[in-house]
Chains A and B, each alone.
Chain A
Amino acid sequence: MSASSRPRQRTLADRGIDGVTLLVLPAALFVVLLFVYPFVYGLLLSFAPKEGGWLGNYAKFFSDPYMYGTIWLTLRLALPVTLLNIALSVPVAMQVRHMRRQRLLTTILVLPITLGTVLVAEGLLNYLGPQGWLNRLLILFGLIDRPIRLVHNYWGVFISLVITGFPFTFLLTLSMISGIDPALEQAAATLGARARQRFFNIVLPLIVPGLAVTFCLAFVDAFSVFPSAVMLGAPAGETRVISFAAAQAAFEQYDYSYASAIAMIMAVVQFGFVGLVLTARGLFYNGPAGGGKG
């Protein structure tokens, strides 16, 4: 190396752009073609209603209780289901992380994801129905006199969303909890913290940011519920979810513009909740959950 070498010209590689960067292109193209283009197309379409001004679709939606009520009906499903799934995932994950047969259990729990919502809904329809096993067993043991209604109403959809949503929240929660250095809890124990105190002082604060992200993902998933709301719920009544309203507009009234507007409203509600949760997340500790310089 000579000390008098002249300053080297800055190349693209210096700025982190090289041949490997090109590998991003297929994915970017994919996103543009399959997400950005349809989204922008739908957004523009929603401002070109069949009748009325450019905000006609939105005015129509918010002046009809039968339409804007779907927001509430969807939230009434998605929020409790998401919260329940997270509330169940945390204690189960706390136990499972110490188990030796962890892989077997996680495999069983992942099955509902691979089966898909339609198959689960189909199964539940038989299992929870008036002549299903559950009601027959409960009657057999004399716990109830006549079948309880668990399908074609709110609870049918609720149960199916819990079943299909739980594995997802569980796996995310398990990976977060497993990521906490066990020495932290041991240190807390030697300092006199009992199991409950260790959970609330050490584990929970460290997973709250992750739980917030889990909430967002699971919530968006539950908010766009469609198959189980139609199959297990009462799509004309108490489980008339917003995605069903959009589908009706598109495929029964053939009003794509109105359907696009409903989809946009759906997106705004989801963005709103996600934004809220992620903002709150910023208030917590977000650093690594390690115990030291590792």
Chain B
Amino acid sequence: MAIASAGFRELRLDAMSRNFGAHNALKAISLTVQRGEFIALLGPSGCGKSTALNCLAGLLSLSDGAIWLDEKRIDTLKPEERGFGMVFQNYALFPHMNVRRNVGFGLQMGGVPRAEIERRVDEALNVVRLTSQEAKLPGQLSGGQQQRVAIARAIAVEPPLVLMDEPLSNLDAKLRLEMRAEIRRIHRLLGSATIYVTHDQDEALSLADRIVVLRDGEVRQVGTPQDLYRRPLHADVAEFMGFRNALPGRLVRREGDEVEVDCGFAGPIRGQAVDVEGERVVVAIRPADLVPLADGPIGAEVTGLEYRGEAYFGTASGPGGVELYFRTDTPLDVGASVRLGAPAERTLVYAAGGVG
């Protein structure tokens, strides 16, 4: 493959900040991206992830801080001087140019000789498997095809860094899975560093080498998908990573990381302390880990049940009206009493009253 990533050793965000009036959309984001790395910026809407991407692309200026590409400071450069490839959420294909001209646009602007443009456009179209559609206008393509054109256009200039702004959010569920695999394949093939903005944790988990969780313009956690999935460092990150059960309680016993928490149920809940200070804590459990057990510590009343193929997922109401989300392999009646429990190693305990 001739399309290859132009080299840089590392991209460094140094306390990158951006304010909109009095609102701090990004609060001193620092991050180092290695060559060829796939980074996902993950967070709920309004967390500043798209702002961060636009700052990297040069479409927004920084309020404070700097961006370095190796020894070169780039945050003062205009977008057209940075040479990064960007894939927009709505694709932003040029509607009056056919697929070929869209893909070749960056090369044409760069003054690349015509024969070279033709060759590289062919390659880029080949990578995204769209060679047969090259003469069509964007309006004549399906959403998935437009997405491929947008990717081809961004990679044809062989950028050192590819920025993607929720590129799959406009596609239907099936196409989203296909394009996810496609993006992973293209990244392996080209090896250019990629920063991928998404609010979908599945996308981030399946694509990224490292995930950066943002909330309210701040980095909450940076880690591999496995780290984030197994051991979120804060209660709010845990909630975002699918720990839907958040049970407030009081720390009653601690031995190293092994803790016991009194949540007002029949017995104490045993779990792993992740980020505990003081005795007021929150216990976080994924719905899939909370199951009916004969000696489970949580007594509750089933309030709803939903069949999802591999299992049933239910809601239950505990003492004091606390809402519980659990999994069961056999159906339960609504209104029935149930005792629930979760393995201690997958029950995470955080200090209460932190952010989120």
Chain A residues near B (Cβ < 8 Å): 181, 183-184, 186-194, 197, 201-202, 205-206, 284-285, 287-294
Contact = CB atoms under 8 A, between A and B. Distances in A.
A190 B109 contact: no
Contacts of A181: 90, 92
A291 B88 contact: yes
B90 A294 contact: yes
Interface residues of B, number: 33
Given A191-B109, A194-B80, A292-B146, A186 B139 contact: no
22 contacts: A181-B92, A183-B88, A183-B90, A186-B59, A187-B153, A188-B94, A189-B59, A189-B79, A189-B80, A190-B59, A190-B80, A191-B85, A191-B109, A192-B109, A193-B105, A194-B80, A197-B109, A205-B96, A287-B139, A291-B95, A292-B138, A294-B90
Contacts of A192: 80, 83, 106, 109-110, 157
A292 B170 contact: yes
B110 to A, nearest CB: 5
A181 B96 CA distance: 13
A184 B146 contact: no
A291 B106 contact: no
B92 A186 contact: yes
A186 B78 CA distance: 11
Interface in B80-119: 80, 82-86, 88, 90-96, 105-106, 109-110
Contact of A187 (B58, B86, B96, B143): B86
Interface of B: 57-59, 78-80, 82-86, 88, 90-96, 105-106, 109-110, 137-139, 143, 146, 153-154, 157, 163, 170
Interface-central residue, A184, A206, A291, by most chain B CB under 10 Å: A291
A11 to B, nearest CB: 35
B95 A289 contact: yes
A175 B91 CA distance: 23
Interface of A is mostly: loop
A191 B85 CA distance: 7
A283 to B, nearest CB: 12
Closest CB pairs A-B (n = 3): A285-B96, A191-B106, A183-B92
A287 B79 contact: no
A206 B93 contact: no
A292 B59 contact: no
B85 to A, nearest CB: 7
Contact of B90 (A194, A285, A288, A293): A293
Interface-central residue, A192, A202, A206, A288, by most chain B CB under 10 Å: A192
A190 B93 contact: no
Contacts of B85: 190-191
A28 B251 CA distance: 81
B249 to A, nearest CB: 48
Given A292-B90, A292-B146, 18 more contacts: A181-B92, A183-B90, A188-B109, A189-B58, A190-B58, A190-B154, A190-B163, A191-B106, A191-B154, A193-B105, A285-B137, A290-B95, A291-B90, A292-B143, A293-B90, A293-B91, A293-B143, A293-B170
B106 to A, nearest CB: 4
A278 to B, nearest CB: 18
Contacts of B139: 287-288
A288 B95 contact: yes
B88 A187 contact: yes
A187 B83 CA distance: 11
Contact of A285 (B95, B105, B143): B95
A193 B109 contact: yes
A291 B91 CA distance: 6
